[in-house]
Structure 1
Amino acid sequence: MLWISSRTCERHLKQKVGDVSAQLLQPGGRWRSVPAGGGIQVPLSRKGPSRRDDRSLAGYHPGARWRRFSASLQPFSSWEQDQSDSHNEHISPRQKRDANSGVYTGKRCRMESCFDFSLCQRNGFKVYVYPQQKGEKMSESYQNILSSIEGSMLYTPDPGQACLFVLSLDTLDRDQLSPQYVHNLKAKVQSLHLWNGGKNHIIFNLYSGTWPDYTEDLGFDIGLAMLAKASISTENFRPNFDVSIPLFSKDHPRTGGERGYLKHNTIPPYRKYMLVFKGKRYLTGIGSDTRNALYHVHNSEDVVLLTTCKHGKDWQKHKDARCDKDNAEYDKPYELNYFFALVTNTVGHEEELGRTSALSHCVQACKTANGEKKRYSRRQTPPVAILYNAALPGNHRQLALNDTAGREGGWYDYREMLYNSTFCLVPRGRRLGSFRFLEALQIGRERMAAFQQIAVFANDTEEITRALQHSEAGALVTGRARVVSDHGQGAACVPVMLSNGWELPFSEIIDWNTAAVIGDERLLLQIPSTVRSIHQDKILSLRHQTQFLWEAYFNSVEKIVLTTLEMIQDRVLQHTSRSNLMWNSLPGGLFTLPQYSTYLGDFPFYYATLGVKPYTKFTAIVHVVSPLVSQSQPVMKLLVVVAKSQYCAQVIVVWNCDKPLPAKHRWPVTSVPVIVIESESKVISSRFLPYDTIPTDAVLSLDEDTVLSTTEVDFAFTVWQSFPDRIVGYPARSHFWDSNKERWGYTSKWTNEYSMVLTGAAIYHKYYHYLYTTYLPASLKTMVDQMSNCEDILMNFLVSSVSKLPPIKVTQKKQYKETMMGQSSRASRWADPDHFAQRQTCMNKFASWFGTMPLVHSQMRLDPVLFKDQVSILRKKYRDIERL
């Protein structure tokens, strides 16, 4: 190895040696890499250059080629130590050691060095939440986070069983200017008896730092704790230790969350706008460079990027020459937005417009619109504009609607632009993250849904008034003046990320290249040409992936929190961690539990991806609650019929009867094994336990009084093989929204659509038994067991929540129960008058826990080929079905 002075090295680097890579040795024996081609090592014994004689280079020939190394030498120290020491050379070695024992130790943390795995070996991955201290304030968002943890299957109230600990001190907002800022947090955290320097703790944070720098300092030493943080930079992010989470607002729903608005695709996938953005631009300070330059690519046609200077109290002091023009274009739809606020009683601009009674203004506006309606033709201002004009107070009566809503009227509505754009720009704000990120993923969670779903035609005053009083959105439209023009396609724009150095949310598990366009702030002028060059097949793929990610991980606080915890669990239990495919394909990592299996083929979602088919047999599970009195009972006939199926592997009888098991000779003789399981608790949920005696993928669930033929069983199983992630069966039911009672309803009427297939005669994958037992909360299962009812509804809720698809009904058969069941010692539970009322209650209890209504309506029914066709009966495979 050649040792030369720094001055000599510098001289030689200037002499035709531009391809040399130098490893500069810093004070203290550390190496600093200067990227180039080859590599030499230069020791620096002190700050100043060495005074060695130039004759030390005797024999050097400038024209000689330097030796090339295959790779530059690795530094002896970590980048954290190198970076910190270069700015703290004046600090004494003792001070450095003291500092490294605190903050810098945490900065180098990884799971292997700062996490105690032994706590997770005893009881698995359990999460403990500190009890809330008296007098401590807590934001609604942080309360939602803690509630989500406490309601999950990972929660434990016993700290002795915990693997991970979560503070009850609100750490979400660490901006000192915020009213949610918690003071003296350092002392409060250090006083926790389980803190242990932060080991096995996780800190949730949305905002850190304050104006003007907005640094990522939390204001207290997190020690060895993990950080689940929004707007975290790649520079400060500790890989496989910290978690990057999205920035979400206080209005983000705790559970459930709305689905994405992509209902169907159009080919080609291009929309009215190619790229849109509407938001604040910062005249000075961090985050201002990119937004101040957006006007360079704004063309008012297919690239619409609108910004306003109205931000902060002193914006007028810093306004530039473009502010007036930008503000005017930005504020064009402002009056329409205020009209929407009036209608929905959500006025949010009190300082500028003053509080106004929404209903009184709008009722008066209805009268005005009704009186003036006849004076306007189709080519003139529509009545909705009159209504809108009359509803606005004072000097804000400015028409924003012309002949039709949208660009033709000369104004831009942000939600309308998002809904009708192919790409949505997501630039950084003051911090790296932005609320625009989640908006782009789902497209207008509030106002867009209102405008999309509600269309009231203003024919008279009474109709308009009734619409204002009862509609959730109150979006008033006429035949041609519709606020949102969806052009017959579903919403979903592809986010274009423009935030250099941002560690994207859940980047450890999500492949963002399949759902977003990752741009570079330095190449802003190339963004329009880049998005135009993306092929339409890629756009469709990106659009679908955004909707999947939104529904799987981002549409509620609960999913954001559970995704964070499940990521950490995968790090702790690496032998049972989820694969990248599980996280990035339907139904997502939260519904594919690795405790069940690590092989993709054991789940009902990946058969097509793996190119395999489910097992060609099924296991029948018959739920029995009545004693065996005679051989003519329906359950005896049912066992014989099911056992005759060519696809039946075995029959399991779940004996939940209070009477003792009958003798072996009382059971019918079958060609397949019949296993009788007598449940200890004898509750109705025991029919959905993940029994080890189920060797097949498919489960045929049957009630004891079900009446089916062998042909019907065979046909249902054949259909299920094409839809292994859904429930396939015979008895169909439906749900509906009762607007009078404002609750969900359950109906068994024969209608043209259904949303449930009851498990009294249905086939589904056995994985749903595991989900039912482990994923659902004990409170729901206890309610079902106490009522001995609704277990089939709960299973339908679960499967639809996972698959996002409706069940499948087969054949036209409607009657599947034994009509003579009442002659036995126990009347059928379906004859109980309270049975139907209980099911109505269950619908609303289940919807409350899921946070939404997961059931999906369908009008599809599958019948055998040539069903009831006028052809020879010999050509039909399932010929007996027509005679049933």
Structure 2
Amino acid sequence: MTAPTRLSQKPNRILYQYRNFFITILLMLTLFIVLIVTYHVFKFGDIQHGSTYRALVLNDVSTLPIQVLDRDTPTAGATNSSCSHFNCFNVYRCGSGGNQLLVYVYPPKNYIDSLNRPLTSQMTREFHQILHTIISSKFYTPNPREACIYIPSIDTLNQNRLRVQEVSQALRTLEFWDKGENHLIFNMIPGSVPDYNPMLDVPIGEAMIAGAGMSSLTYRSGFDISLPVYSPLTANLNPGSFSTRKWLILSSQININSAFEQDLMELKTTFPNDIMVFGSCLHHNPMNNTIRCVGEDVYKYPDVLQTATFCLVIRGARLGQSVLLEAMAAGCIPVIIADTLVMPFHGTIDWIRAVIFIREVDILMVVPVLKKVSEKRVIELRAHGAWLYDRYFKSIEKITETTLEIIADRVFPHLARDSTYWNIPSHSGNVSPLFLPITAPKTRGFTAVILTYDRVELLFLLINKIVKVPSLSKLLVVWNNQHKDPPHPGRWPKINKPLKVIQTKENKLSNRFYPYDEIETEAILSIDDDIIMLTADEVEFAYEVWREFPDRIVGFPSRTHMWDNRTSCWKYESEWTNHISMVLTGAAFYHKYWSYMYTTAMPGDIKEWVDEHMNCEDIAMNFLVANWTGKAPIKVTPKKKFRCPECTNTEMLSADLTHMVERTQCINRFSNIYGSMPLRSVEFRADPVLFKDVFPEKLKRFNDIGSL
């Protein structure tokens, strides 16, 4: 009877095992669903967290969560005036988003003191726009633990509206405050009466300030961000309206220092037809900032700024003045008379392109100085000022976005945009096609491409010299002689760097610019086989300079072009001058991208003409690079003489009497094909630090650099 019993229990055991299996699967599914729901709850919470700002009303903060500040609440800590990006900014908080700057905005609260008085009854429209811009930007993160920058939702734009002690206490209560590290405080009207401190009076510890009207005496360079004093009056102005201007100079500020008022009256007496001085309207409402008066005559402001060529921006009780943006919006060129004023976005914007600076002690010379400004310069200043205003200052949103972009460049310097990005209008068509960091990486070095025909001894001498350059990665010899084979491998110098010889099918100068597969580095050193006078230090230094300017031609022999009024043509000039517009590719660094462009995208028949006449390939390359980038080449070191001492004049291509004539013809022919003259002249030469200084050689990195 026992056997049948065991047989009948076997199916039950199987069912029991299946039941356990299904229960296990069910539990796992349940746990998985719980995890998914939990994830979405937290995610939804983040979304709701962000929507708090978007739904924030301006006229009432009483509906927000309450934070009580009593007398015992500690303050944020005294402002650290010695802060810099290197001692007060924690870069290790950044990088959670890769190379993306992440910014967290604290949820807004209703801060009240022990007497139940609110810190502020409403949030200003401008501060609301700042917060909304950040939250709507690519920089925003709802997760404070992955943020790099923290923005308090406490309206600190206007110093006059702040209760200094309470605001500092409110900052101290922020969850991630930590002495203000990596926090950014916005302030557009710093300092209160009577001192008008150019810095925010609120103690903020080690926080950064994005503020207007900063002084060079207190501005923490590379740490704070200088802003303009924003003016809502500019909304209806058109900076592109460049109609005829009645006045040369206009002063529209009210309540300026009495000494400056006397200077302006003296200028008006001396130059009555050149300067107009407006004042407040005492017979109307003197607090109305939309009108200005001259005697009984009333003028609409800031529209009246469009009647002058230059508008004065004079230091007042506060350094920062709203007339700067008002003048730019009106197409009136600002004339800055404020010695210690830190201009908006200082260190990023090149203000020399858009404004004129005059020292305060020279204010009585303002009319004679401005009369000497040429009409061409006036057009350039006005046009660039209009471009700067439209790109960076037209709205609170643009000012906020630019602030974050500048901080992003500081946090990730390897991705920072150069001055050209910030200061050259993109519509000029001169945007570099190379997507490179501000400094090219050094790790892979450069490839030396040597063009040669039959001068074997010189070639071997050059190879033995160039191989001593520390950053050399590979040598590529382009053998341009089809009637004679390269030397036997056993004859070549024994070197510790890779060497490849390529024998071309045709004798063309353009062969030196072919994008050979053997070139694996970004940088190419194009060098002739007779350039044996360069030292290893000179070549290495030139490579270091190229790394700073990777989209340009960087090299040694330089030339220039000039307009000949006698012939009404361009002229090629090889004389030693301070101006250069070309660097010859007989000894120059350039990016390998230009070899590809030279070979595949050279306009017209330039490449064919060069190969047919065996001349001007270096001029053609300079035209190509300048046309794409709008930039001048860079000459390095004072080296002048490049003739090889072993060569006779009959062996030198440049000894031909027709050589210079042909090169002048090249300049004119190429400019006609391009439809303009793309070459840019510059007075600049790069020399190593301490080159001519009397210092021990141990302190100098490049000692073996010759003189003229």
Q: TM-score, normalised by structure 2?
A: 0.45
